[in-house]
Chain A
Amino acid sequence: MARKQSDGPSKTDIDMTPMIDMTFQLITFFVFTLNFSTAVQDDRVQLPMSQLAKPAEGPSVDPITLQLMSDGRVIYAGEPVSLQEIGGYLENEKRVMIASNKEPRSATVIVRADGRSKTGDVQELIKACQEKGFERFVLRAQYDESK
């Protein structure tokens, strides 16, 4: 009787099994939902919705992503740049491509423009790219699941 009393308060045994089970379930879930995709997405741009915006099968060739915000500025490499200044950055892109023995026209320019931005700004952005020799453009939209 004396022995039982002495080791009673010294150590309380909690059954850890259910907690560890649940924790491993959680780990498995997060591991499977982890994605290493490098697709550029930015909260500052609200893409227009489209029912036909199905994701492409493969990654695009030499993608250059330009994101147009609703106020007319372009997000290039994470920083907002005005439409007038984007030409200089595109010149750098062109030089990088030529340095790696690629033609600028083989690059794909991905235009992620905000649905509220002006069409004139989108066209101006495309024109700025054309002046640097980029020819392939895709307009990106968000897939609309609602019917």
Chain B
Amino acid sequence: MVAKREALSDRISIDMTPMIDVVFQLITFFMLTLRTVITEGDFDIRMPLGASVGAASEDQLPPVRVRMTAGPGGERTSLTMNGQPIGDFDELRRRIVDLVGAGPGSSADKTEVELDCDPDLSYDNVIRAVTAVSGQVQPDGTVVELIKKIKFAPPKKK
């Protein structure tokens, strides 16, 4: 009798088993529902239905025409801006900055870019061109916005 009372007062042991069961269930649930979300962003493109909807305002500058041609495998074979050949997308961005200017007083709001692409062109190039004309990432990480109005030229028949 003495020994039993001693054992009781010595240590009260709680049965941990149900709690651990539940906790492991919870871990399993959260682990299986874990989803890593990749950061994604959007580019607006203006695709009004008729010409009347997209009527140009008074101070609208003539659109910048970016033409890309494709080889048989979808790779880009040439890049021109308003008819002038351009080497790569960095040069395209420099030309756009030269054209509209950056910062206050820039005419980027009034300028529109029209993308004219071959149907076989790999879509990757379109996004790279859109990236080049729509902004510039500064070395400190801030983004200088350039042209935001981007549209596609009417698709060509294959």
Chain A residues in contact with chain B, CB under 8 A? 3, 13, 16, 19-20, 23-24, 26-27, 30-31, 33-35, 37, 39, 41, 47-56, 60, 68, 110, 113-124, 126-127, 130, 133, 135-143, 147
Contacts and interface: CB of A to CB of B under 8 A. Distances in A.
B123 A115 contact: yes
B3 A3 contact: yes
Contacts of A143: 38-41
Given A50-B128, A119-B126, A31 B43 contact: no
26 contacts: A16-B20, A23-B20, A33-B34, A48-B123, A48-B124, A48-B128, A50-B43, A50-B131, A52-B143, A53-B42, A54-B39, A114-B123, A115-B124, A115-B127, A120-B119, A123-B117, A123-B119, A124-B155, A127-B155, A138-B44, A138-B45, A139-B43, A140-B43, A141-B43, A143-B38, A143-B39
B41 A130 contact: no
A123 B41 contact: no
Given A52-B143, A122-B123, A126-B152, 4 more contacts: A53-B41, A120-B117, A120-B158, A138-B42
Contact of B123 (A13, A20, A23, A113): A113
Interface string B26-57: 11001101110111111111011100010000
Contacts of A60: 42
Contacts of B124: 48, 115-116
Contacts, number: 162
Interface string B1-29: 00100000000010010011001101100
A18 B107 CA distance: 64
Nearest to B24: A23
A117 to B, nearest CB: 5
The 9 closest A-B pairs by CB, nearest first: A120-B119, A53-B41, A30-B30, A138-B42, A115-B124, A48-B127, A143-B39, A123-B155, A119-B121
